[in-house]
Amino acid sequence: MKTKLIIWLATIFLLGTVNVAQAAISCLVSSPGITTSYEGALVIAQSSFTINCTRALSDPGTTEYSLRPNHGINGSGAQNNAAFVAQLLPYKEYKDSGCVTQWRATGNAAGAFEGTATFINTSATVNGSFWVCINAGETYSSGLYIDTVTMTLSYNNGTGNKLNASANDTHPISINTVPSCTISSAPGNLNFSYTAFQGTASTASTSFSTTCTTSLGYSMSVTAASGVASGVNYGLNLNTSASGGSIPLGSVGTGAQQTFYINGSAPAAQAGTCGASGCSASQSHSLIITF
């Protein structure tokens, strides 16, 4: 008898799932921020931002984005502030050079930079500009005011709904305030009326105003401090009122307008040199501010 040996070969197939990695769009935002100076007049300073996105070729060819800033580390409500020690200098960021449409942390679409980035091969770049505006007449001390603003970029990463991913970055604000002191309201004429050998002094007064940086020390002088007109001697003094009051050797700016007076006096009992029934003469003097 013959016996046959039959060998069964069993092949076992293991069925399973293979996970295929799905690439996603990734975006970043950056900005150099603002460096500017302020002397009390309106400032409009321009800066820029750049959005860079990458993708795999299997991802969508475009991505929508929205870019908004916060109000900085010294913000108060919708107001941005740059800080120098304990002092704040207000400013705002705008989408336009006319300082009309504020670039805002919240609100409708007008307050954000929104658009669509289009890929060229695997990358897309969006460049934009924004402006920092500082109003004229802000009260400030001399110093370097700084702030840090955080930008939030929302975008579609290609895996679902609109704006389903985000990225943050910051930009610096640096405002150097320059000491300033001006004669904001000029003095007028001092008009003396004098009769030869009169028994009392003749006086005249005029006012002027200065506007100087907060805490800035300054001094004032009139040159020349005396003169002679038609043979009549007179002297000039700087005072805090029309009736007198001495000005301290060093005045200190408040950021607001400060008013002072130039008072003049022609002593009594002077003969003068007027040979007719009446005459007039004038002399020029200079008001000087040193700071």
Per-block mean pLDDT, blocks of 10 residues, the chain (291 long)? 40 38 83 95 97 95 96 92 95 97 86 96 98 93 96 92 91 94 92 94 94 88 93 92 76 89 95 85 92 89
Note the pLDDT of residue 12. 33
Q: Are residues 199 and 270 both part of a single domain?
A: yes
Q: How many C-beta neighbours within 10 Å does residue 134 have?
A: 25
Q: Is residue 37 part of a domain?
A: yes
Q: What does residue 90 show for φ and ψ, rounded to 5 degrees?
A: -75, 145
Report the alpha-carbon distance of residue 265 to residue 235 in Å, rounded.
6
Range of the domain at 70: 26-177
Largest CA distance in the chain: 171
Domain count, the chain: 2
Instruction: Using DSSP bridges, classify how beta strands 165-177 and 34-38 pair: parallel, antiparallel or unpaired.
Output: parallel
Q: Is 32 helix (H, G, I), strand (E, B) or coil?
A: coil
Note the pLDDT of residue 159. 83
Q: Is residue 104 part of a domain?
A: yes
Q: Are residues 86 and 168 both part of a single domain?
A: yes
CATH number, domain at 156? 2.60.40.10
Report the alpha-carbon distance of residue 162 to residue 155 in Å, rounded.
7
**Contact criterion met (CB below 8 Å) for 223 and 283:** no
Q: Are residues 37 and 150 both part of a single domain?
A: yes
Q: Are residues 139 and 228 both part of a single domain?
A: no
Q: Is residue 14 part of a domain?
A: no
Q: Is residue 7 part of a domain?
A: no
Q: What does residue 285 show for φ and ψ, rounded to 5 degrees?
A: -130, 160
Q: Is residue 18 part of a domain?
A: no
Note the pLDDT of residue 8. 36
Q: Are residues 140 and 114 both part of a single domain?
A: yes
Q: Are residues 192 and 133 both part of a single domain?
A: no
Closest CA to 151 of 120, 121, 179, 128: 128
Q: 3-state DSSP helix/strand/coil percent for the chain, to nearest 5?
A: 0, 50, 45
Q: Which amino acid is at 87?
A: Q
Note the pLDDT of residue 2. 45
Q: Is residue 19 part of a domain?
A: no
Sequence-separated (6 or more) residues with CB below 8 Å from residue 119: 53, 55, 59, 61, 62, 63
Distance of CA 134 to the CA centre of its chain: 4
Note the pLDDT of residue 180. 85
Q: Are residues 185 and 173 both part of a single domain?
A: no
**Contact criterion met (CB below 8 Å) for 73 and 148:** yes
Instruction: Answer with the one of 137, 157, 177 that is the final residue of a domain.
Output: 177
Q: Are residues 214 and 109 both part of a single domain?
A: no
Q: Are residues 286 and 200 both part of a single domain?
A: yes
Full strand arrangement of the beta sheet holding 286-290: 251-252, 217-223, 286-290
Instruction: Answer with the one of 157, 177, 197 that is the final residue of a domain.
Output: 177
Instruction: Answer with the one of 144, 177, 210 that is the final residue of a domain.
Output: 177
Q: Are residues 73 and 141 both part of a single domain?
A: yes
**pTM value > 0.95:** no
Q: Are residues 33 and 167 both part of a single domain?
A: yes
Q: Are residues 48 and 131 both part of a single domain?
A: yes
